[in-house]
Chains A and B, each alone.
Chain A
């Protein structure tokens, strides 16, 4: 089981201190976040499984209900999240070059876009409620509210994490040589985008 990365814990020359080098710390953090994302795949995975089971069981229900979802609002939210993925990727590209102001700018934009996503979601949900469509109305809407709800919670969590990154950036904690937390947060944020990339067509587009 050879490792691809050259930065493992096995350091030649017998480092006696046992302190973790910055390179190992970075690789560890990266492995850590990918492991966490693996758990998220399985967490959402249960819901995707339920979606498939019920879609196969009640195709007409999905066909009837999905028209209640606003395709354009869903598409707008998709664009919002994709753009936020761009901005966070640009934030990381910026700090890799040591550009503090750009880092803060792109982080702020990402958080702003996340907020926009939640606002659009709020309007979507309240509109459903106004039409008497709730979780529990039927299986389609139960799935819709559960999955977009869990996803929305993750968006909120992402806003908090990115907010913390912005605060730390404001205090000058990041540099060209050290910005691991920003990269980790970025990876999490891209995952949130990934889930929506599948949620959008599954609910809004394929009645």
Chain B
């Protein structure tokens, strides 16, 4: 596919070039304009918050083992589930793949030297950090509203919602700037010969994601701004006593927060679309269908936000419309699943850790997505809303989907980013425990919710206890798996075997340059003459 293959910078053994990692010193990282370093900074930051959010979850689950016992107060529990949700969503899952892997790999995959606006890229990271600091500041009076911050409680609670609102506004700004950068980069900086239909599917996924970020995030920005104004000046848009409407907050909030779940999943799906062909040694089946399904998911995703509000007091008219439209978003998603499976059919499949995670994604995300059917239907939603069924649904899609996709990407691209190989054995143990732990934790929660256990309650009737204990034990198994995985990353970074430039024999452009890549990405920009999934046509040249 490329006329210029990578030169021999990928040496095996020691004394090798560290590429973009070469230059040392705080300033070379803090003021970097290199998209790979900025991506790495995002990855480190978001991984930290993944672990922090996970600790909050473990604490929650400990309390949930024993109803009636005060291991810690109910108020603390409220703070914990708010923090768990907010940290995981705003500080981990939204930025991790887009700002982390997107930054690192979009220019590499399209054959560019950097993104369109490198300084805005750097600014977006520091705005992200500023948002984190402001959010941390709000912890002096920590929020207890749930991550959805519904009014009127969020407008009246003593917690430091105002400061938090500004923090989230800054996080949103960072997200917007990243999306803006990627849109222009993908339009304008593709290598010679890389037409739209020769783009890797991760790029299509990121392009659709960026459109959502740019269109939806400003709405949540104004939402939090208005919440802050409500608290500071008594503005009253959401206050019934002043003629305001609490549901207006929910409309604005969900206009962003529903599409944002597609910001979470589309990049992960993009990763799966990259991994499956490589480890099946087969061209992706239905390239255009998968590419355009990303755009379709982004588009349809904007029309369904009211399905979070069926029991809120919203009009019947709106409820019927939103429920009807919600079913459509499953269609392009299913298109992807069928095409991935068709790709594997008669392929030459191997089960290295990236592929293990990719297969796990298909299984868990499909399962979680199907449970969404019950939630989109008005009649069943009434029984299931605000129960553990919802909690299980979004953990299957967000963890079983996005996090698993993220981990697939980490395992797939670790050699490229660090120049070292992970231990496959440790990776498999980490995967196994995470997979088992995840399912033990969350599968029982579907049943708990169906049987009526409400979410966000610190206490519950005793008939739910045995399954809650099972769920908590599951969380420990999962934590064990993640611990093994993180140890693998740390060990691999410092002691892993040197990685060749193309350990998986992939055809996308990032594998045609050294591991880790030089600062300028490619010695010469490749000229692209074929799509990146031409496995049947030619043997790949990679150095083993």
Contact = CB atoms under 8 A, between A and B. Distances in A.
A54 B188 contact: no
A135 B192 contact: no
B190 A14 contact: no
A38 B214 contact: yes
Interface string A133-144: 011101100110
Interface stretch (A4-12, A64-72, A95-103, A193-201): A4-12
Contacts of A38: 214-215
B116 A28 contact: yes
Query: What does DSSP make chain A's interface, helix, strand, loop or mixed?
Result: helix
Nearest to B120: A32
B193 interface: yes
A57 interface: yes
B237 to A, nearest CB: 6
Contacts of A32: 116-117, 120, 180-181, 184
Contacts of A150: 225
B193 A10 contact: yes
Interface stretch (B59-67, B96-104, B242-250): B242-250
B235 interface: yes
A139 B243 contact: yes
Interface residues of A, number: 49
B180 A36 contact: yes
Interface string B483-526: 00000000000000000000000000000000000001110110
Contact of B188 (A9, A19, A145): A9
Given A18-B522, A28-B116, A46 B215 contact: no
B188 A24 contact: yes
B189 A20 contact: yes
B215 A146 contact: no
A12 B216 CA distance: 36
Contact of A28 (B4, B188, B218, B233): B188
B243 A138 contact: yes
B188 A53 contact: no
A22 interface: no
Given A31-B184, A38-B214, A54 B243 contact: yes
Contact of B180 (A15, A39, A42, A143): A39
A146 B180 contact: no
Interface string B109-123: 011110011001000
Contacts, number: 138
A9 B218 contact: no
Interface in B213-247: 214-219, 221-223, 225-226, 229, 233-237, 242-245
B89 interface: no
Contact of A39 (B176, B187, B189, B195): B176
B450 interface: no
B460 interface: no
B183 A43 contact: no
Nearest to A149: B229
B527 interface: yes
Contacts of B233: 134-136, 142, 145
B187 A46 contact: no
Interface residues of B, number: 54
A206 interface: no
Interface string B195-217: 11000000000000000001111
B337 interface: no
B524 A16 contact: yes
A44 B221 CA distance: 10
Contacts of B189: 9, 20, 24, 28
A39 B178 CA distance: 12
Given A9-B191, A17-B525, A39-B217, A142 B237 contact: yes
A43 B375 CA distance: 30
B422 interface: no
B194 A10 contact: yes
B418 to A, nearest CB: 24
A31 B187 contact: yes
A1 interface: yes
A35 interface: yes
B252 interface: yes
A39 to B, nearest CB: 5
Contacts of A178: none
A58 interface: yes
Contacts of A11: 192
A35 B183 contact: yes
Contact of A135 (B235, B245, B522, B525): B235
Contacts of A138: 236, 242-243
A50 interface: yes
A136 B236 CA distance: 6
A146 B226 contact: yes
A15 B525 contact: yes
B235 A136 contact: yes
22 contacts: A8-B187, A8-B188, A14-B192, A15-B192, A18-B521, A18-B525, A28-B184, A35-B214, A39-B176, A39-B180, A43-B221, A45-B222, A46-B222, A46-B223, A47-B222, A49-B252, A50-B248, A53-B248, A134-B233, A135-B233, A139-B243, A146-B226
Interface of B: 3-4, 110-113, 116-117, 120, 176, 180-181, 183-184, 187-196, 214-219, 221-223, 225-226, 229, 233-237, 242-245, 248, 251-252, 520-522, 524-525, 527
Given A24-B188, A31-B188, 5 more contacts: A10-B192, A16-B4, A46-B219, A138-B243, A142-B236
